[in-house]
A and B are shown apart, each in its own frame.
Chain A
Amino acid sequence: MTVGWVDTVVQGLLLGGLYALFATGLSLIFGVMRIVNLAHGDLSILAAFLAVVAVESLGLHPFAALLLVAPLMAGLGYGLQRLVLNRLLGRGILPPILVTFGLSIIIQNVLLEVFSADSRRLNPGGIETASVAIGGQLAVGWFPLLTLAVAVLVLLGLQGLIGRLAVGRALRATSDDQETAELMGIDNRRLYGLAMALSLGIVAVAGVFLGIRTTFTFASGPDRLLFAFEAVIIGGLGSLWGTLVGGAVLGVAQTVGAKLSPGWGILTGHLVFLAVLLFRPQGLFAKARRIA
């Protein structure tokens, strides 16, 4: 009984690693540009399908495919920002929401057209089912552990970039005060392009790890966006490590809910999200260092 519950919580914490990967890119873009990218989830699914193409046509391992897909998505992000989203700057919060919502619909329909409605999966050749025994009765999957480790590495890398590099200082300065940042010589439009490139590079990692963990279809994106959004809000908007904690809280809520009754997993996650919105709307880590 007790081991069963410990196992449930551990699985939830590890699931949080995946949610944190989805949430980080969303949080970064919101922190720097005050834009909620509603196509974030669909872009992760697009990355997963691109990985499928790389695996099937080039015979690559999914992790090797990621080395192709992540830079590709980063380039797509830069182009998307420079050619489309930068045109909406300074026109209020509604235009970016409408445009990214439209982009979400376009991506889903293109994926449906190209890849059909069949569900797909990325096969890494065994690691997704391998596990390590801890203390006799508890078994932890290697792949969820790897996911969490990658999430921590991504967050560490992002923290180093934002905290120490000149471009990171520029991101924080622009997030604080866009006009003054321009007066200091920072080209906000180029910087926003870089931030979107970074965000979509990270979301490509999330998409490929999702595709290894579970099956996905052209329509899997909006759920991913919702979980990422919930993780960001639970953790505290703009807090880098808050996204990991938010992801973990959401993951544990979902696995605990699913253990209580198989249909309750997602619902319990939503209820915890609503509880945070009601009782601590600034999130658990609102006072932590701002992301950008």
Chain B
Amino acid sequence: MAFGSQVTTRGLTRRSAALALELVVPAAIVVAWWLASSGSTSLYFPPLSKIVSAFRQIWLFSHVGPDAGPSLEHLAAGYLLASVSGVVVGVAIGLLPSVGEALAPILEALRAVPALALVPAAVLILGIGPSMQIGVIVSAAVWPVLLNTADGVRGIDPQVNDVARSYRIGWRDRLLRMVLRAASPQIVAGMRTALSIAVVMIVFSEMVGSTNGIGYQLLQSQRAFDIPGMWSAMILLGILGYLLNILFRGFERGVLAWHRGMRGASD
């Protein structure tokens, strides 16, 4: 029993040592920032303490409802729309190689549109507001999902299809359990790229054409020379980006659990 407890304590110390190793650099950066900026009189790099208090004032929680809420809502709507339509069209194109081949130049060109350049056109067409923001997110984030899905579906081993046919598996099962599943590593990879694009698009579209949102707040405080306020919005967006990434990693682990198992736990 003594031995057992010794092992667990040792495991625990090792784990906390590993954690300490990973957290020492971020902690050092924050401390260095705090110390280096503490006496700062520079307009653009205010003391971190001021930024933190601005953060508390603005984002805990008076502006969460009017600004952070809409941002997240539009981001979620645009991202989901892009993912779903990307998967649907991608599966169709993947299953019909001749259609994919015929549309290849168009898809290649549409994917290469620098989506931020479309924001002024989107403001003209859809006006300022949520539909424009969701529109530009979809127009930018749909391509990685669509092309990756098509690629994944096209890459399914033909033998799998033959087996499914000889067992007379219905098209619905074939689609949901076979095609989507086999293509899921690529679909998820596309969705990961799409997520970071979507975040860029929501922030940018709020800066250019919106009357609320975190991006709007960020640019407004810069224009009003409220520099601590600007920094606090930057920090909030950084934290949001990080949290979304962690959430996505959880989603990925859930969806691809079978795939990781098949390939061994190495990656």
Do chains A and B interact in one complex? no
Q: Which residues of A contact B (CB under 8 A)?
A: none
